Amino acid sequence: MSKWLSIALLVMAATEPAFGHDFDGPGGREGGGRHAHRVLKVFDANGRPVGPLVVVGSQAGVVLTVDGARTFAPIGRSLPDKYWHASRYGWFAGGPAYPTPDCSGPPVIANPPPVFRPSLIDREGASVTLLLATDAPTRAITVRSDSMGKSCRPLTDGHSGPPPYNAAVWSVQTTYQLSTIYPEPLTIHY
């Protein structure tokens, strides 16, 4: 009995390498080995890889390392000439919040994706900037305005717009010029 068990183990040990490895690299997942899993990646306009495509909640994007912190940078379909493009993507901007009614003062990050270091993307035309939160606890403020690029949206108590709201926010630690480092349009492929 132990003779047959020894032979079976020897045969299994000898045949495993013939099918590939269970890791990335030559002969592994990316190389088409037995346990191969192709991973979709996001590429910038120059064809450089930005990172693997990930989904957080219902938002697609990539995980970036900025100043040693891991953060999620969302992407969405690009909108050139007022029409959606089937295979081109851009950085998905959300815009910062402000405690003032006119978007003045330092911006803050409210309601970021629930994983990694909080951040948000601000877009002003073709210029796209990722704002990374400080590694500190939130503070409570009343958000009185928010912005998208040059457009400021005051939050009022009247019927002309949404009212101000209380939020736990993060201060901005650093900015990262996505449009310079990873220019648009972005593409997704293997």
User: What pLDDT, on a 0 to 100 scale, did the predictor assign at position 14?
Assistant: 41
Going by C-alpha positions, the residue among 154, 4, 132 that lies closest to residue 64 is 132
**Per-residue pLDDT tens over the stretch 81-109:** 667 778 889 999 888 999 999 999 899 99
**Torsion from C-alpha of 99, 102, 105, 110, nearest 10 degrees:** 40
CA distance 126 to 183: 9
Single pTM value for the model: 0.76
pLDDT, average across residues 98-121: 91
Confidence of residue 13 (pLDDT cuts 50, 70, 90): very low
Q: Alpha-carbon distance 23 to 1, whole Å? A: 34
pLDDT per residue over 14-63, tens digit each? 433 333 333 344 444 445 556 668 999 999 999 999 999 999 988 999 99
Q: Where in the chain are the domains? A: 1-37, 39-189
The pLDDT value given to residue 10: 40
Instruction: Report helix, strand or coil for 44.
Output: coil
Q: Residues near 108 by Cβ (< 8 Å), separated by ≥ 6?
A: 96, 97, 98, 99, 141, 143, 169, 170, 171, 172
Is residue 159's pLDDT more than 90? no
| Total Cβ atoms within 10 A of residue 26 | 9
What is the three-class DSSP state of 9?
helix
